[in-house]
Structure 1
């Protein structure tokens, strides 16, 4: 899956000269958490988010610049003052931002968003904004996949083979101990496991296998230190 498939096309934008009040009003009216900032040609200049508006004197939340910090780091202090007290988008927006091409794999975008702790990622063609990828886009795509009904007819033998193959490819499962059976799509897992995490992960393997309708857990917990079996979970 690539970014183009799920991104918001032609997102709502704002000009850098717009007032902060107008930008905030637009975000509220459109139920947005971020506004890309562009020039009249659509070139991406920055982005303003609801997080940029948390520290404001109007809310009594703006940080005060101490005299010693102002003396030791005047440029940084001035920049902070502008960021927290500016009245126009250009003064508050983030200019150094990440962006990505529309045909990039979705996994690349998610890695960027996770590693940099950002909630939205502008999508560009060169320097021109063409879309916006947000966590809401990702959630929408995920829900559609989770709710999609799989009507593929799969034999019980094929179900067992797929589950056993997935278990064999894992790096954590007790491969030789778990037994898998399937009847009309109802899978039964049995045999010893050595932690609750292993048990749950094995159930997840079965649940994600095509043709599985439900999973019956008959696995037995065995203490790895003593070898004593404590019965079913």
Structure 2
């Protein structure tokens, strides 16, 4: 799945000369938290988001710093703060340090990008022109469309399910040894003694992702040998 498969193409945009008040109203009434900013030539020049409009003098949310912190700040930082709090045009408050993606960008890379940059959306461009936006909401909607995997192991094949669970944990340092995984009537019994809550959760999830497993039972005592079962 790629950006072109999940992106929003009907994008609400702002222009650099738009007033801050109109930009805020547009986001409020459209139910969005940010907009790409497009110049008259159709070029993407920035993003304006809720974060850019949070600190405003007119509503009393400007940053208040002690005199000694202000004395340590550079004049450049102080000037930038003043502009963010008082400017009336989008061009002066928008973020220009933006990252973009192409339509062919895989969704896995998009998720990594949103997480690493701590942003909620990323513009999709073609030949420098905006063609869409992929947001966190788009990724969540994509999850809804995924068809659940069909059972890959025949019903009644406990040995096959056991192997599939072991494969699901392969390569992970928290993986259980073979003797700690027992499957009976499609119920996975996992013996994860002396493990952290996070490791036990990962072990349980690995088993739950195996198609055909009906239930996962976590045990805190050492397992009996498979022969005893």
Q: TM-score range by the shorter chain?
A: 0.7 to 0.9
Q: CA RMSD in A?
A: 2.7
The structural deviation recorded for 1:31 is 0.4
Partner secondary structure for residue 179 of structure 2: coil
Partner secondary structure for residue 220 of structure 1: coil
The structural deviation recorded for 1:153 is 5.9
Structure 2 CA distance for partners of 1:30 and 1:176, relative to 1, 3 Å: same
Q: 8 Å contact 1:15–1:38 — kept in the other structure? A: yes
Partner secondary structure for residue 78 of structure 2: helix
The size of the alignment, in residue pairs, is 218
The structural deviation recorded for 1:199 is 2.8
CA distance in 1, matches of 2:33, 2:17: 19
Query: Normalising by the residue count of structure 1, what TM-score does the alignment of the two structures yield?
Result: 0.81
1:177 aligns with: 179
CA distance in 2, matches of 1:69, 1:200: 47
1:44 aligns with: 44
Residue range with higher mean Cα deviation, 116-125 or 193-202: 193-202
Q: Deviations over 1:48-93 (max 9, x none)?
A: 0011111111221112586995897333322221111111111111
Query: Normalising by the residue count of structure 2, what TM-score does the alignment of the two structures yield?
Result: 0.82
Residue range with higher mean Cα deviation, 174-183 or 88-97: 174-183
Partner secondary structure for residue 221 of structure 2: strand
**More strand, by proportion:** 1
CA distance in 2, matches of 1:72, 1:52: 20
Partner secondary structure for residue 62 of structure 1: coil
For structure 2, list consecutive stretches of 5 or more residues without a partner in the other structure: 224-229
CA distance in 1, matches of 2:17, 2:3: 30
Structure 2 CA distance for partners of 1:9 and 1:199, relative to 1, 3 Å: same
Corresponding position: 1:167 with 2:169:
yes
Q: 8 Å contact 1:70–1:77 — kept in the other structure? A: no
CA distance in 2, matches of 1:215, 1:170: 19
CA distance in 1, matches of 2:82, 2:71: 10
1:206 aligns with: 207
For structure 1, list consecutive stretches of 5 or more residues without a partner in the other structure: 223-233
CA distance in 2, matches of 1:218, 1:191: 5
